[in-house]
Chains A and B, each alone.
Chain A
Amino acid sequence: MSEHRGLATVWRMADDPGEALLRAEAEAVAVENAELRDRYRRLNELEEQQQERRGVTRRTFLAGVGATMTALATSQFVATRAAFGATPGGTLIHVFLYGGLDGLALIAPADDGYLRSTRPDLVLPASGPIPIARNFKLTQAFAPLQGMLDNGQLAFIPGVADPRLSRSHFQAQDACNLGGLPSETGGRGFLDVLIDKLGPGTTFRSIGVGTTLPRSLVGTNSSLALNTVASLNLNGDRKFREPTLTAIRELFAGINHPLEAVVGSGLSALASAQEMTAAPYEPAEGVTYTGQVAGAFKELALLIKRGANVRVATIGTGGYDTHENEGANEGGFLYERLTDLATALAMFYLDLGEQGNDVTVMISSEFGRRVAQNASGTDHGHGGAMILLSGRNMRFSSSLLGNWSGFDSLDRGDIPEFNNMFDVFGSVMKGRFGLSDAEVASVFPNHTFTPMQLFA
């Protein structure tokens, strides 16, 4: 190709260094190499100091990646467990309501004059809403979960926030999903760190139902993102399927890029998914899944019931940014969304039956909304509400958990942080997986973990 070089290029070819220059260059390079190495060492030290608070140094992190890849090369090629049974140690499902749930449209002090005056169109009506503990009421949209409420399997926490959360959707979403600021967490999601504590598992031990992986699962554990289990299937002539998968796996082996681990876990998932979807999925009698959130729960029910050993899963759903036409009461926009959510949850637990006994669902949003309504909705606020559901093996100590100090201590019109979000997250993990306080604390760097009494 060199014969086609332009004139300017040819001109440059004239500068031809001599031996002496080469030797001088070599010396300069040696000096520079030493400097570079020193600099890299300093950077590594800085980085390790930074990450120590999370209990993950750069070195241990890299070892972790290696371990993940080794696991993929061995145990995870094993097909899914044949035994149908509850997942040992249970399952935690985190549902994120994107947009900022108006917590006061979900639960609120009963018959409150301040609410009637500040949000006349959005206050829970006098009759209809479901009484819960401490003179609070729950929106009637949650009627499908009345049985679980009566059974101590449904609880709410008001005024949940963290000082890190601004009123910007994605700043707050990011901090919620990472368990801190990006600078504090190194960009790893809090659920990905949690998975470190759960020991080895199968390909499906951590999954995000959706097109992309949520930030809470981003990190080192090769979590899977999938829309449906059945979609994990290679198309084309069946006779080429297995040889193709074998070739792909081998072609990625030793490629000197972490994509190898991602592809490995994807292929393992594909193999397992084929087994799990060999027979069409029939939910339990009386169960129908309708709508987006319900569809996601259906995929999780399939995985759990067919023994995929899901330990941590996420579902994301949007539409909670209700600046206009919020519709908190029957027939309204938000009411219908909450009805869909409650129905999906009720169906999910009904479908799981005994296998749902050790399944915990934790539902949160990036922030609450302002107490006072605007024209027809609410703007971004601070303290929000969280929803917790549990299988039969663990009951909540109350249907309304945590602190609530009323509307006298509003922060410029917003519910302040009565309960810390990461304390709630951590306390749920602690109860679900039997972690120590120190293990939970290491998931949330720069936050002083204070356990909350959630379970009876």
Chain B
Amino acid sequence: MTNSGPPRGRHTRPDDGRRRETTPAPYTADGYDDRTYDRGAHEAGAPSEPPRRTAPAPPHRPPPPYGPPVGRGRHADTPGRSRWVTGDGIDTSGRQVIDVGNVGPAGQPRPSRRNAMIGMGALAAGAVAALVPQGLDLGSRLFGGAATDPERENGSAQGVALQSVVRGSPTEAAAAVTEVTPSPLGSNTVLHLVSRLTFGATPSLVAEVRSMGIDAWIAAQLEPERIDDSALNAKLAELTTLNKSIDELRAEREANDAKRIRPAREWAEATIARQIWSKRQLFEVMVDFWNDFLHVAADIDNGAYIRGPFDRDVIRRYALDNYPDMFVAANRHPALLRYLDQDRSRKNAINENLARENLELYSVGVDGGYTEDDVLQAAILQTGHSIRDDQYVYRPDQHVTGPVRIMRFKHPNSTPEGGEEAAERYFRYLALHPSTARYIAQNLATRLVSDTPPAALVDAVATTYLEHKGAIKPTLMTLLSSTGFWAAVGQKVRRPAEYLVATYRALGVSPATPATFDDRDPNASPFLQGLRQLCDFLVGVAHWPAGHPTPDGYPDVFVAWTSAGTMIRLWNEALNIINGGRKMFTYLRPDELAGPKPPTAAGDYVEALARNLISRPLAPRERDLLLGVAGVDAAAPVDASLNGAVGAVARAIFASPLHHLR
């Protein structure tokens, strides 16, 4: 009811050069080590340093933050040491095992919105670290030989014993040697992999990974176009606006209005459907990640025409490809340009909103080494990027010419017609800046590893990102080949949308409409009606696709999502789904959840139920607590409905850490 968040709508920035505490920028471009940081400048193609254009009055520089510098500079002093299994540098796949230790030290809070949230995560995970039993010897890893079986089954709470001889692929080797952080989720590698690279385990998915092997399954997921998703796509064809071009969406506006079809909303609904039912799960996870990272809110002027196409033509197009191309494409897409006012930037009234966020949020990060002057220069260089009829257009007449220098990027920018290409060079310089590599690595690891990923892991991922020119697959493979990834079992908490999607997946809900459904909406298929309800629910828990009003995207650390009200809504929603609440979808009956012929002893029944719902064996204590919900002993005889308690017990499973954590 009361939204405590900021108001909807775009934010604007001061443009008068005053009060720039937003960007402390303790590292100026000139402070960089040339050996590391000059690469982009050479690529920028500026033969010699042009005279700097007349700069406006120097912006107010904030006092340096107290204490020693924090952030990436610190790590630059003490680069993470990595030991490579193969020992021969970086191979083409980027697959190395990287030993980065267990949950690392809490990262330093940083002065940016997204980083501040990461800082919050650090606070929280600091608490985790304090609770970890002493005696975990950080960094004790041996690599080299063969693992007998890279899949661990649930071991002791202290994690698995180290194996002195390890063999196998880097991911499997890393998985095999890793000492897992104690968690109720145990130490099963397949389940850990599935809980991070998909929106939730299902029995058939777990069986698939077991039969293919971790490596082969990852390899298959990295080529989503080769995974058959025709069943879902046939259902999604009921959403008529998904594959339309911007021009078509404009042309069909009145027809869509008449049928109460809102294309941006349909895109959001399709996103939820894909997360639940797509077989291209890793792809959907990465699409979700990039939509948070390169966030464009759906609620923008003419978002109906441009937000879905942005997801399709920018985010999905490059989600597993490479970031420089994604970043350039985003800066040539009307959705981003409109969201951050680039289309309002004129020769005589330069708007710096997008130029600033390009630096602060979409590339180097707020402590990535830029100054206020760089923001202004970037805003000048980006002039001419505009929108006409909801399409991107480059307008030479609005481009401001003259030499620019942004960080170490230099360009003569001498002609109006050349402004677009000059800006592209700048975008590519930014996308491959070491600060960008580190910032993306930090965010990716926050998504896939923990709210406080180990610094050495982040360093290694950033290194691969740079070595591979921003290619996403090798970057991901480095992350997956690190012990830090495999150690972090149960260290992430599902955000509200992730919880809802995982619950649908766990219950095996099918998008098929049962014959019994009473369809009263002539303008929307039953499937679409159901998706609309799901999206409405996610609006209610403040986590629907592209719903975040501000360009920092949804936070990805659990402390940002702690709400008693939301938690209880999710638990209640779980019971609604168990009971088949949205009648346009097809459900197993509750008395089918423990299997077609459920066990007749209560203890066996509850264990079968957990295996089916969360793919995990229960510890005896967990089983007994769940039996307590039904009020029976393990040996008690029960019928197919657990004597009427199956729904309550299933909901308790979904309300437990076994389902909240991932």
Contacts and interface: CB of A to CB of B under 8 A. Distances in A.
16 contacts: A4-B212, A9-B213, A16-B144, A33-B138, A40-B105, A163-B21, A170-B11, A182-B113, A186-B119, A211-B540, A219-B123, A226-B565, A247-B626, A257-B493, A295-B2, A380-B12
Interface in B130-145: 130-132, 137-145
B14 A315 contact: no
Interface string B111-124: 11101110110111
A96 B4 contact: yes
Interface string A427-442: 0000000000000000
Interface stretch (A42-50, A128-136, A397-405): A42-50
Interface of A: 1-2, 4-6, 8-9, 12-13, 15-17, 21-22, 25-26, 28-29, 32-33, 35-37, 39-40, 43-44, 46-47, 49-50, 53, 58, 61-62, 65-66, 96, 98-99, 163-171, 173-175, 178, 181-188, 208-214, 218-220, 222, 224-228, 231-237, 240, 243-244, 246-248, 250-252, 255-259, 262-263, 265-266, 269-270, 292-293, 295-296, 314-321, 379-380, 382, 412, 446
Nearest to A97: B7
A211 B563 contact: yes
A251 B656 contact: yes
Indicate the size class of the contact surface on chain B. 35 or more
A220 B123 contact: yes
Given A166-B21, A240-B629, 16 more contacts: A25-B143, A39-B78, A50-B70, A61-B123, A65-B130, A169-B6, A170-B6, A211-B4, A218-B560, A224-B565, A225-B4, A232-B568, A247-B656, A248-B571, A251-B622, A251-B625
Interface stretch (B223-231, B394-402, B505-513, B644-652): B644-652
Nearest to A260: B657
Contact of A167 (B14, B138, B631): B14
B146 interface: yes
Nearest to A263: B567
B586 interface: no
Interface stretch (B48-56, B61-69, B287-295, B296-304): B61-69
B658 interface: yes
B589 interface: no
A99 B143 CA distance: 55
Interface stretch (B181-189, B377-385, B597-605): B181-189
B142 to A, nearest CB: 6
Interface of B: 1-9, 11-14, 16, 18-22, 24, 65-68, 70, 74, 78, 81, 83, 86, 101, 104-106, 108-113, 115-117, 119-120, 122-124, 126-128, 130-132, 137-146, 149-151, 164-165, 167-169, 172, 181-184, 190, 209-216, 219, 490-491, 493, 540-542, 550, 552, 558-569, 571-572, 575-576, 622, 625-626, 628-631, 645, 647-648, 651-652, 655-658, 660-661
Contacts, number: 370
Given A1-B149, A186-B109, A236 B219 contact: no
Contact of B565 (A49, A225, A240): A225
Contacts of A292: 1-2
Contacts of A256: 128, 131-132, 181-183, 490
Given A4-B212, A5-B215, A262 B562 contact: yes
A50 B108 contact: yes
A16 B146 CA distance: 7
Contacts of A171: 21-22, 113
B4 A212 contact: yes
Which one of A21, A29, A168, A222 has the highest number of Cβ atoms from chain B below 10 Å of its Cβ? A168
Give 7 closest A-B pairs by Cβ, nearest first: A316-B4, A210-B4, A318-B7, A182-B116, A266-B564, A167-B14, A225-B563
Contacts of B630: 243
A278 to B, nearest CB: 17
Contact of B563 (A212, A293, A380): A212
Contacts of A265: 564
Given A17-B144, A170-B6, A187 B568 contact: no
Contacts of B214: 1
B368 to A, nearest CB: 15
A257 B145 contact: no
A168 B216 contact: no
A16 B145 contact: yes
B576 A235 contact: yes
Contacts of A49: 67-68
